[in-house]
Amino acid sequence: MATGSVINSIQEDDGQLPSYRTLPHNLEAEQALLGAILINNEALNQVAAFLEPAQFYLPVHGRIFEAVLKMIERGQIASPVTLKHYFDNDDSLSDVGGAQYLARLAGSAVTIINAEHYGRAIYDLAMRRELIGIGEDMVNEAYDASLDESATAQIENSEQKLFSLAEDGGAEGGFRPFDGPLRIALDMITQACKRDGHLSGTTTGFFDMDKLLGGLHASDLIILAGRPGMGKTALATNIAFNAARAFKQEKDAQGNILAEHGAKVGFFSLEMSSEQLATRILAERAEISSEKLRRGELSDSEFSKVVRASQEIESLPKTDRRRVLTRVIALADQPRPPGCVKLSADEKYRIRQGRYRILYSIEDRDLLVQVVKVAHRREAYR
């Protein structure tokens, strides 16, 4: 009687046992990605930087992906034919049809254009499964806490797992295989070779700083420290403006990003409002003291310069921005390019880029090229 009561208590209203939720996954996306890679190994380049074998839901898919990685890294072609002997006696593959499953994967692939989208979907679902695991561990640890571990310690442990998941794509820290970071490093080097300034990171717009840092990188935390009034905000706004002005993406015919220059910038300040930041940038572009802008102590000519600077920031065509920046960066390697004009005896020069003029000076002894002004041809010599 008691047993029957227990069974009835876990049954749903319709008399059926409750269904259990499966972990989030998308086998079709995994099959589509593997098929795309098998028909064209170049598709691996779209996902190798972030996707790992363990992130596939079906273990056999992870094994296939791992085998493909190893073969391509050795410079071999990964295809159903070359992979067949690796999986002929693989029991895990027999459940899905044996080595013939590889041929079916390749045969069902339609295009490699969406390979990165498939990879991102697989990665996202893997992170969700990790998140579910962390949540279950949190609940179990809270129920079965030992006397030696406080609630605060459990919270800190859970926070660390969540941070590791967000930072590295895994709940557990510690050692990581070297091949993943190595692929990312090679990708960064490739991107640097494709960029105009040959930087592995985002340009700051300051050539000496770019030479020291190699540009700004996603993993960097750079702190500008100094006493009040030393120009920290001015430098930061200049870096942000230069990076945003240089932003462009080069894509192939399929829409895949081949190289990215500059960056989209978000500027956060706990001291200055957006209007104050805009005023600082305007002052720097118009070459007028920000104090004069705030007080409104501007002559007619200075006000015109502010208006022109504002119009330049808003309406400078992206194509012109890219070309001007490319010419400026090229001065580091060839400070006196063909077509440059010497303006004075003290090593001041001018080069043209469409409707714009780039004025700069050269100090050969210090190997220094200093850009003095970039402006429309009507404004360059005022």
Domains of the chain as residue ranges with CATH: 22-176 (1.10.860.10), 319-376 (3.30.2310.20)
Exposure of 269 in the CB half-sphere (CA atoms within 13 A): 17
Q: What are the residues whose beta carbons fall under 8 Å from the beta carbon of 108, sequence distance 6 or more?
A: 31, 32, 35
Q: What is the pLDDT of residues 262-320, one digit of tens each?
A: 777 777 777 767 677 677 777 777 777 766 676 676 777 777 777 777 766 665 555 66
Q: How confident is the model at residue 9 (pLDDT cuts 50, 70, 90)?
A: very low
Rounded mean pLDDT of the chain?
77
**Span 235-241, mean pLDDT?**
82
Residues with Cβ < 8 Å from 297, sequence gap 6 or more? none
pLDDT, one tens digit per residue, over 157-172 is 888 888 878 776 654 4
The conformational region for residue 78 under phi > 0 = left, psi -120 to 50 = alpha, else beta, is beta
pLDDT at 365 over 70: yes
What pLDDT does residue 179 have? 63
pLDDT digits (tens, 9 = 90+) for 85-126: 777 766 667 667 677 888 888 887 767 788 889 999 999 999
Which range is least confidently modeled, 6-15, 62-71, 161-170, 325-334?
A: 6-15
The highest-confidence range among 80-89, 182-191, 307-316, by mean pLDDT, is: 80-89
